[in-house]
């Protein structure tokens, strides 16, 4: 399966010009760079915001299952984050995390 273009990052990170102006390829590379450098805090913030506002379909191609699950746990622990998350969206992301396990094995 080829890499899909990730376009929603431009809308999700509308307030961060450095992300908004990245191409799909550059955004993917940045996420991978965060993983390689061990910058878990920054990666977690990106994944959490993506889960809150982004497409699960795109998210599965970008993030690993454990990253998505961690973001879901953080959102559930935070009453402020829960204000912005529809329960249906959270369930969709739970299913996406299960799919991500299989997707990233390939």
Q: Tell me the domain boundaries of the chain.
A: 9-103
Q: What is the pLDDT of residue 6?
A: 67
Q: What is the pLDDT of residue 10?
A: 86
Stated pTM of the model: 0.83
- Could you report the average pLDDT of every consecutive run of 10 residues in the chain (106 residues)? 64 90 92 96 94 89 94 85 78 90 66
Q: What is the pLDDT of residue 32?
A: 96
What is the maximal distance between C-alpha atoms in the chain? Answer: 37
How many Å apart are CA 50 and CA 63, to the nearest integer? Answer: 10
Strands (DSSP E) found in 13-83: none
CA 36 to chain centre: 16
How many Å apart are CA 78 and CA 73, to the nearest integer? Answer: 9
Q: What is the pLDDT of residue 87?
A: 83
């Amino acid at each position: 399966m080829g890499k899909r273009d990730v376009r929603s990052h431009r809308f999700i990170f509308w307030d961060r010009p450095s992300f908004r102006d990245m191409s799909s390829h550059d955004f993917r590379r940045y996420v991978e760079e965060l993983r390689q450098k061990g910058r878990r805090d920054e990666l977690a913030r990106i994944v959490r915001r993506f889960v809150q506002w982004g497409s699960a379909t795109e998210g599965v191609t970008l993030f690993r299952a454990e990253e998505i699950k961690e973001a879901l746990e953080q959102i559930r622990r935070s009453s402020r984050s829960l204000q912005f998350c529809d329960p249906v969206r959270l369930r969709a992301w739970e299913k996406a995390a299960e799919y991500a396990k299989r997707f990233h094995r390939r």
